[in-house]
Structure 1
Amino acid sequence: MRDHKFGLLTHAHAGGTRGLTRAFGLLFGLAAVSEANASPLSSARAAPESSSITAQQAASRIWMTVRDTRFEITLANTQAARDFAALLPLSLDMPDLNNNEKHAELPKALTTNVTRPGTIHSGDLMLYGSQTLVAFYVTFPSSYSYTRLGRVDDPAALARLVGSDDVRISFSKQ
């Protein structure tokens, strides 16, 4: 027979019981060697990948505390966001501007990658210029340029908590 699935067994059958035993022995031997070689490598690779993903997720998240409420922020994948995270922990008195944002000067200038987003969303954390941190709590159209730092994951309560008065906002890695 020329059937590729059964080719080995056909040849074994042609050689009698001895050929069949040899064929099965070869198959089981190959399976055992393959399993022995694959298992350690697979498990050795899985641990660093999963811990690497966990480390990346942790590094891409920070916390913002407004009054007594914590908000989780997902950082943008930018040098500016990494520079900002390196400043933490940080507490800033942030005055209101235009009833839609809180702003404060950072202790040092950050790397910029300026874009014009067009629409600012409630929960956006941006950098204006190279040193002004801006936390937006209202969605609105804008022609201004910013460097994206991150975004509050669930900004629904943000506007109510910050209000239009000055507020102290703390940023931390934990």
Structure 2
Amino acid sequence: MDIRLTIDGHGVDATLNDSATARDFAALLPLTLRMADFHHTERIADPPRRLDTSGAPEASEPKAGDLAYYAPWGNLAFFYRDGEHSPGLVILGRLDDIGDTGRLASAGRVRVRVESVS
């Protein structure tokens, strides 16, 4: 599924994978998030509810541009730098252009609107 993230007024395209967790995330769209920086690697925010992680791998090693869900905390994580191998991390999809990760790295909280693209 194709989605668009609008990060502080700038559109960024991404594609969700076909996992149960990504489909459950897509069911929440459109969604506006205030994302905080976490470890100078990713932006995190809480979705309105926990996502279904049926059939998800036990762990993932995120790369810059990955959109993910961290099941132990129940939060979304959008990576602008490569992360570490993380148990409970489920990759939802990926930014279409890795060059767009810089928009997530700006200082302070970032407002992100996530919508499906028809």
Check whether TM > 0.5: yes
Matches within 5 A, 1:162-173: 162-173=105-116
Superposition CA RMSD, Å:
1.6
Could you give the per-residue CA deviations for residues 13-39 of structure 1, whole angstroms, max 9, x where no partner exists?
xxxxxxxxxxxxxxxxxxxxxxxxxxx
In terms of Rg, which structure is larger?
1
Could you give the per-residue CA deviations for residues 93-146 of structure 1, whole angstroms, max 9, x where no partner exists?
00001111000111011111143223x211100000163100000124x13121
Matched, 1:129 2:66: no
Selected match of 1:71 from 12, 22, 28: 12
- Segments of 5+ residues of structure 1 without an aligned counterpart are 1-59
Q: 1:66·1:162 contact (CA, 8 Å) conserved in 2?
A: no
Give aligned pairs, total: 113
Q: 2:43·2:104 contact (CA, 8 Å) conserved in 1?
A: no
Report the equivalent of 1:107.
Answer: 48
Given the superposition, is the C-alpha separation of residues 82 and 147 from structure 1 closer, same or farther in structure 2, using an over 3 Å criterion?
same
- Segments of 5+ residues of structure 2 without an aligned counterpart are none
The alignment-based identity, stated in percent, is 34
The ranges of structure 1 where at least 4 consecutive aligned residues each deviate by more than 6 angstroms after the TM superposition are none
